[in-house]
Structure 1
Amino acid sequence: MSKVLVIAEHLDGKLNASATAKTVAAAQALSPQSIDVAVFAADPAGAATEAATIAGVSKVRAVANPANAQALAQVLGPQIAKLAAGYSHVFAPSTTFGKDLLPVVAALLGVNQISDLMTVESSHVFKRPIYAGNAIVTVEAPADQPVVATVRTASWQEAARGGSATVETTSVDAELPTHTRFIGLAAGSTDRPDLQSAKRVVSGGRGVGSEENFKIVFDFADKIGAAVGASRAAVDAGYVPNELQVGQTGKIIAPELYIAIGISGAIQHLTGIKDAGTIVAINKDPDSAMFEIADIGLVGDLFKVLPELEAQLKD
């Protein structure tokens, strides 16, 4: 019977609830005996309490250690490898956090990692995307080894809330490295929703024309309470910083509503939004590839169309 350990992602004491709940949902697909969530922090109380409300979680294991003040893979990895004893599966979200952390855990456990798990076929058989999402491969992990996998959060719905799991203080005796230390964290600040967890996203592409012109995208996103994204072409042109990039080499997202403004629709970009609910494309080029996958398409000049849409919103 499967026993799953989910590694919670959090920052500044606040749980990344969406990513963690989607990872729990993937764990639930195994129909396991139990799902435990592990929170590693200097003070894990806040994030652990949040994690305990996710339905399907058996218990939350709170590991307090001053060394865990920052999510360093080289520091967390040895602790997770120790804690994983007795678990058949170790899951984490396929975010920057999980992609950095789980290869370390897999190496310490001496197993191969499965990346971007999107479908559970059985306890050791899964599906994951390859070739920028153009193909789906079925992989089988050895039955006599623990499964270490990152979960493609865009492919899963969040597990429900309303759970009441117990929070258990856990001590992990692991030798931590001394060659890795935290220097600093540089992160952009914004009042807009987080791009990877937002229900609505408005993205701009090369067609926006300039960094100055991108203000029209930001303004429209603010009108509808959406996060802002961008194509790689817009990022490479210097219109917006790279943390807004959506696509194969950027963020993989699955909002309920995705509005693509002035984006041609390169396959690398489409890979990042393939799981979105409703896709709206606005482009003056009627032959844009974005129209081929859009649920709603509007051919027109974005600098005329967006003000008209904003006027309708005001009404």
Structure 2
Amino acid sequence: MKTVLLVVLVGFIGLHVSVFGRDIFKHRKNLGNESMPISIGIGFITDFFDTLGIGAFAPTTLLVKVTRQLDDDRKLPGTLNVSHALSCLLEALIFITVVKVEPLTLFLLVAAATVGSWIGSRYVTGLPEQKVQFVMGLALILTAILMTLKQTGMINILGEGNVATGLTGVKLIIGIIGNFILGALMTMGVGLYAPCMAMVYMLGLSPLVAFPIMSASCAALMPVASINFIKTNEYARKLSFGITIGGIIGVIIAAKFVTGLDITALTWIVIVVIIFTGLTYLQKSYKTKVARNA
């Protein structure tokens, strides 16, 4: 079953490269006004630290805002999913091959997240800018809270003493439903890593097992969700292309050379800035709503 999942993930790589590459080639003369060097830099930084456990969505949102690389907030969820798909697939291939996990549990939870992302992406593409700003603001603050719980050890406490590598019965059903919901929320900008980690801990799985489940879930759902975002033009092409290039390089370097890097201080800085960015998006959402009603 694990081999089947690896084959499926490789297939997703081909799918994403085909769909994304075809769209980039089709619009090659007008990809956008974003800076390619800055976009590549954003991808390298965010996926480098994503491989080390920080997560990519919230830091990407932060850097995109700081560097002013996106002038339409409606395209942010799509850009996040499209741009990080390949780097996340690469991470998943690494974790699945080195961590022992019960194949059926892994396959079913990944499948649930993928179906959730397909449904979620179809909903997100129809949201107006004001609602996207509101959702992104809440997503960032929720991400910061979960990152804080992880940093303080609150989430890790849930996994202490857990040795199981798979789920059965009611726990498996809960895991499937939970990952379905998390897959849908990820298309709206809510990172899957921390909530998925908390869920598998509470279901009794070993902390180490969380990594292949998290990475494989993200890896499978992103290319699927990206199809809808690309189809409806709800993403920034040049920005996504640059982040993809930088992200792949970042994952390779992080996995090979600096997996033991202490990122505690950096993570706390990221949490503070993410909260500020989340509040900024909520403020923008309020102003957009007031202007629309005026």
* Normalised TM-score (structure 1): 0.23
Greater RCO, CA 8 A, separation 6+: 2
- CA radius of gyration, larger in: 1
Normalised TM-score (structure 2): 0.24
Question: Would you tell me which structure has more helix in proportion to its own residues?
Answer: 2
